[in-house]
Copies of this chain bind each other. A is one copy, B any other.
Amino acid sequence: MSLDTMVRQLGRHAELSDDDRRALAGLPFIRRVVKIGHYLARAGDQACEHIVLLSGYAHQHKTASAGGRQIVSIRMPGEAVSSACLFIDRVDYNAQALTPIEAAVVQRDALRDLIAARPAVSKAILMATLIDAAISSEWLLNIGRRSAIARVAHLLCELAARMDTIGLADGASYQVPLTQEQMADILGLTGVHVNRMMKQLTESGVIARHGRCIQFPDRDRIARIAGFDARYLRP
């Protein structure tokens, strides 16, 4: 197992020379396998590590005092589980495995040195951070100002687009790595209502489903319903 997935993902954010890529791929790390549902970080924990997903999905979530749970980010292969951990030692959200995961615990000092020495790497990581921020803003718009049906459609569009760029959607269909309950925790809805919206999208032919495998018979149609414009995913 290598850091290949990470290098490829960073390469999408900035031009990396072969030297840059070799340096990144040569970073010292420890491989870690995490079972579904297990935590990668906990809110308030000291000493957090820089963990990069090699395969599988994770999410970050926060909880309200009333007991509600809000997922604030979905992490995909090649991305850091918690980008803040590169520079600070405490984090105010939980990170949890959405599926079985292979991850790399990268030596922070080595990566920081590499960032200091190589502008292209620094730029790639900065870009990743900016895209994360853009996604957060889009989620705010989604939860705050769109109807339930549009929210669900938008999430499906975003997941499809992101998985497409890392080669995990075959263009025609993809596997949603979330339960409907988890989708609800992203969208500020309840599991029951997400189910109703999925049913409505299915019955009106906007999406087709076999289990969690999803297809868009008409991309423009679902994008219109969702108000989805993929530009925020690539600054």
Whether B235 contacts A84 by the Cβ 8 Å rule is yes
Q: How far is the CA of A141 from the CA of B62 in the complex (A)?
A: 7
Chain B: CB-nearest residue to A226: B65
Q: Evaluate contact between B134 and A140: CB separation under 8 angstroms.
A: no
- Docked pose: A140 CA to B231 CA in angstroms: 21
A4 proximal to B (CB < 8 A): no
Is A66 a contact partner of B235 (Cβ separation < 8 A)?
A: no
Q: A66-B145, A66-B147, A133-B133 are in contact. List 20 more A-B contacts (CB 8 A).
A: A62-B137, A62-B140, A62-B141, A64-B141, A65-B224, A70-B145, A72-B140, A84-B235, A87-B123, A87-B126, A92-B235, A132-B133, A136-B136, A136-B137, A136-B140, A139-B140, A140-B143, A143-B188, A144-B185, A144-B188
Tell me which of B64, B73, B147 contacts A146 (CB under 8 A). Answer: B64
Q: Which of A137-170 contact B (CB under 8 A)?
A: 137-141, 143-147, 150
Residue A29, interface by CB 8 Å: no
Report if A143-B144 is in contact (Cβ < 8 Å); known contacts: A64-B227, A133-B84: yes
Please give me the 5 A-B residue pairs with the lowest Cβ-Cβ distance, nearest first: A144-B188, A68-B145, A65-B227, A136-B136, A72-B137
When distances are taken between beta carbons in the complex, the residues of chain B under 8 Å from A141 are 62-64, 68, 70, 72
Q: Which residues of B contact A147 (CB under 8 A)?
A: 66
| Contact of A130 with B by CB under 8 A | yes
Bound together, the chains give a CA A140 to CA B140 distance in angstroms of 6
Size of chain A's interface in residues, with CB distance under 8 A?
45
A88 partner residues in chain B, CB cutoff 8 A: 127, 130, 235
In the complex, residue of chain B having the shortest beta-carbon distance to the beta carbon of A137: B72
- Min CB–CB distance A127 → chain B (angstroms): 8
A90 on interface, CB distance cutoff 8 Å? yes
- In the complex, are the beta carbons of A231 and B130 less than 8 A apart? no
Report the bound CA distance from A150 to B64 in whole Å.
Answer: 10
Please, could you name 30 A-B residue pairs with CB atoms under 8 Å apart, sorted by A?
Answer: A62-B141, A63-B141, A64-B141, A64-B145, A64-B150, A64-B227, A65-B224, A66-B227, A68-B141, A68-B145, A70-B141, A72-B137, A72-B140, A87-B130, A88-B127, A90-B235, A92-B231, A92-B235, A93-B137, A129-B129, A132-B133, A136-B136, A136-B137, A136-B140, A139-B140, A140-B140, A140-B143, A144-B187, A144-B188, A145-B188
